[in-house]
Amino acid sequence: MTNDEVNLEQQNTVLREGLDRVQGELHHLDRLKRNFTMLTAHELRNPLAILLGYAKILEDESSGNVREYAGIVVSRAQQLKGIVDWLILLQQIDVGELTLRLSTFSIGEIIRDVVKKQQENIHLKALQVECHTEPDLCVRADRERLAVALSNLLANAVKYSPHGGQIIVHARADADNIVVSIHDNGIGIPPTEQAHIFDRFYQVGDPLTREQGGFGLGLAVAKALIELHHGGIWVESMPNEGSTFSLSLPRTYPLNANAITRQAVLALS
């Protein structure tokens, strides 16, 4: 081996060691961030529940302006509670504590339920929502968890749709999977952002200047829950042309469901 080759090998060794150190530091920082986030969520849970309880009592027992103000407090406390619940749910997934309660049910029925629960926000923006589902299409999944994932995708479509816009929900089956797609004609997502759209706390655009609020957890929660079902989730979008968020679930759920769940948890870690 020549001196040049020896020097090159030494340089490569130094670079590899430096890269390993950087990756180790990034993993350490990520663990610290997650630990801090989870500790904060757990510490907020109890005082937030007390605040929400007293605010509801005040809303129920008051009238006039006081009742209106109490209602605002209740609404904002419920919003914060939702964020805390999502953080705790993600932690349960990370450590393998979240189990799925599987049952077989109509995919069309759960889509209708999800749309109904979003009806107030849909009405406020005068949106038209169309649902197209193949007849007698059933899925085997955890009904509650799937409803959360679908609700988050629909809420995202509602948030980014223009006033008077249209949202189309479509459910179909292919040879192996049941696929649900939610299409909106909103602002769309730049191609450079799409690879990160399902990351935790990720938000498109500058969070200090963008018009839409949010904590960047809804899509991450949806992804985690769908992957626990051994399914997939993805987005197709172009700026100013709207977005289509889709999820797929296996038509035949694996018999060894617990093993599949553990594999999904490991993949998310």
Q: Could you give the residue range(s) of every CATH 3.30.565.10 domain in the chain?
A: 102-268
pLDDT digits (tens, 9 = 90+) for 108-159: 999 999 999 999 999 999 999 999 988 889 999 999 999 999 999 999 999 9
Structure pTM?
Answer: 0.72
| Mean predicted lDDT score pLDDT of the chain | 81
Work out the pLDDT band at 223, boundaries 50, 70, 90. very high
Among 152, 146, 151, CA closest to 105: 146
pLDDT confidence of residue 178: 93
Confidence at residue 6, expressed as pLDDT on a 0 to 100 scale: 62
Cα–Cα distances in angstroms (integers) from residue 172 to residues 14, 20, 22, 78, 219, in the given order: 53, 45, 45, 34, 21
pLDDT in tens, 149-191: 999 999 999 999 999 999 999 999 988 899 999 999 988 888 8
CA distance 266 to 269: 5
Q: Is 227 exposed, middle or buried (0-12, 13-18, 19+ CB in 10 A)?
A: buried
Alpha helix (H) residue ranges in the chain: 3-61, 64-94, 107-117, 119-124, 143-160, 191-194, 218-228, 257-268
pLDDT at position 258 is: 42
Fold of domain 102-268: Heat Shock Protein 90 (3.30.565)
**How many residues does this entry show for the chain?**
269
What contacts 24+ positions apart, CB below 8 Å, involve 94-100?
94/34, 94/265, 94/268, 94/269, 95/265, 96/261, 96/262, 96/265, 98/228, 98/261, 98/265, 99/258, 99/261, 100/141, 100/142, 100/145, 100/228, 100/229, 100/257, 100/261
Domain with CATH 1.10.287 in the chain: 5-94
Top pLDDT among 31 and 255 is at 31
Report the alpha-carbon distance of residue 219 to residue 267 in Å, rounded: 17
**Could you tell me which CATH class the domain 5-94 is placed in?**
mainly alpha
Please tell me the predicted confidence (pLDDT) of residue 14: 74
**Average confidence (pLDDT) over 214-220:** 79
Per-residue confidence at 37, pLDDT binned at 50, 70, 90?
low
